[in-house]
Structure 1
Amino acid sequence: MLDKADFFSLYQQLGLKPGCTFDELKVAYRRRVAELHPDRRGADADPADAARLQELTAGYNAASAFHRRYGRLPGGLHQAPRAPMPRATCMVQPAAAVPARSGGGRARRWLGLALAGGLVWLAWNGGVFDRGGEVGGGPAPGRPAAATPSTPAGASTGLIGIGTAAATVRALEGRPVMENPQRWDYGPSWIAFDDGKVSDWYSSKLRPLKVASAHPPPPEPATR
């Protein structure tokens, strides 16, 4: 069948050239069949169209068989089937470990020391810790006992009392935040003066003074 088929005549009838693709052959064949079919032309159908249609179908079947056997149409070059492309795989590469900087640990240590120093400074200036090394401003172990209110305290006792001179107060407490002849302010705490001598005070727990109590004790009643 393949040896007797006139493929050149088939290409001429379909308006194709040797070397066309099988898809082009199929489309052209179907279009030509629709043109020659008696049902389409009706009463105007040519009796010879049936013979042409039969010859065309025989040529198309022979070309299809040739294509199945050789992988090409008669008169065309052999086209080997393409090998399937390997499926691309998306592989996520693990992120490379970033080497730690040699100075990172040192910087963290310095930052920690700076924060600790800042907390200590705030505690000192806020009066949380007494300068003698204890909380609450009470006398530390080994500190001299508080002087009685009737006895002016001074630098020798380490405590401020009624009658303590302003110079001794400055030596014990340092420079006040606000100062005038009648009163020195040390944050929330204050010391009042009368003629250059301590006459009253208030020692806050937030910034305790070097005194025996938050306020001076009331004066003892005079004995007859």
Structure 2
Amino acid sequence: MKNPDYNHLYLELGLQPGCGIDELRHAYRRHVAGLHPDRGEQDLLRGDGSLSLSDLNVLYGEAIRFQQRYGRLPGAPQPIHARGAPTSARSTRASAVAHVGGDRSGVAANRGRRLLLALLLVAAVVAGLMLGSPDAPVPVAVHGSADTSATGMSVPPPEPLPTQLALGMDAATVIVIQGEPVGKSDVEWSYGPSWLRFEKGKLSDWYSSQLYPLRTGSSRPPPKPPAESPGG
């Protein structure tokens, strides 16, 4: 039916446009069951204003399809949650991209905070070594040392923190460099499409995806050199 008039359907079944789908089904079944078996097919509106059985069936079918498509019967108010829903696949993709971007920015912020805490911890350890205890022996100043205090104590510079992941790293060092994973188990950590694997608490393998690159020099770790034969 090109332009169905649902008001005739509701009027015929004694319903209001804002009725529910169950009300419509029950009213339709009662109405059809009460029809006289000799009632013939006529135009959309009969002389007494009632619908013929075929027109009633068509309007009822159109109303059911309308409800399946829009989640409500014709004439019923539109649900509030559906009014602000995305209307196209492009809107859905934009929302997903924004969500992924928010997750990445949050991971980057956590990574920066953890790196700063690690640097502060190293600085505190170095300061403690420089101050020392009263009973500790005084180190002898070495000519050309990297750092000499006013008391003549020579303290070697702290080893710089690694900036990239490497095989054999423990989990704590991995977290300082890469940050907390999205998913985590005893043997595998996931960072979106990228992942890290551990054996006995040490980093043993990884895969760095371009969609979420890890702090590694390559997408996969370098291959292990072949083991030398006993006789070689």
Same fold (TM over 0.5): no
